[in-house]
Amino acid sequence: EIVFSPSSARKVSAEVDIGQLNLRDKSMDLSETAMSLSSSESRHSTMSSVSVELMSYQDALENVLTWLLEAEEVMEKQQPIADNVSKVKDQFNQHEEFMVELTRHQDSIGGVLKEGNDLLVEGKVTSEENKEIRMQMSLLNNRWEDLRIKALDRQSRLQKVLMDLQQKQLDDLSDWLTAMEIRIEKQQVIGADLNAIKAQVEEHKSIQKSLEEQQKKVDGLQNMVVVVD
């Protein structure tokens, strides 16, 4: 099984100078700040094109936040990396799907940051709105970066564990084959008496059983994961 690892979720930024902001606790719910801009409908009623652009930014921000919070929950609920090949393969495949999901949404994150940056650069918002937008953009960017780094770290660790476990399987198979070749060579000469022959028959049965058991492991190697960046 050859897996083409999805492009790493990239860092996104609108390259706005967010200045030395007094950021709130990183764990604060960004939706609170997103809602603050829409708390006063009377303020929006006095605006025309600015109101439309601001509302568009708010809607985009809230949509991104909804997805981001869900993605953070998925990341937090992921189980510790297992210690057997089968389970690690499942975890690896599940996380690759998660990485694809991040890649699919990264442009949305960048789009929101750009919308916010445009509002700031064009100077179409009040001083209070300017401050709130800067805060939102900074927090959104920080949350995205935190999620992205955690996801990439887990992807890297899963790949390493899986490659190590698969290599161990190959090494164990190589050792088993070497030992089995020695056992079979000893079977080449038929025993000189009945007891010796009986012993060889039992040894042959043991070899046959070992071959059958090992075949299951060999079949499993046919589904080895090869990661191609």
pLDDT, tens only, 78-114: 999 999 998 999 999 999 999 999 999 999 999 999 9
CA distances from 135 to 15, 30, 33, 108 (A): 14, 9, 8, 18
The model's pLDDT over 58-84, given as tens digits with 9 standing for 90+, comes to 999 999 999 999 999 999 999 999 999
Nearest to 162 by CA among 95, 77, 78, 97: 95
Are 10 and 106 spatial neighbours (Cβ–Cβ below 8 Å)?
Answer: yes
Alpha-carbon distance of 176 to 169, in angstroms, equals 10
Query: Where do the structural domains in the chain lie, given as residue ranges?
Result: 2-161, 168-228
Q: What is the pTM of this model?
A: 0.69
Nearest to 147 by CA among 184, 103, 81: 103
Specify the residue for token string 């690759």. 96
Q: What is the CATH number of domain 2-161?
A: 1.20.58.60
Alpha-carbon distance of 93 to 162, in angstroms, equals 11
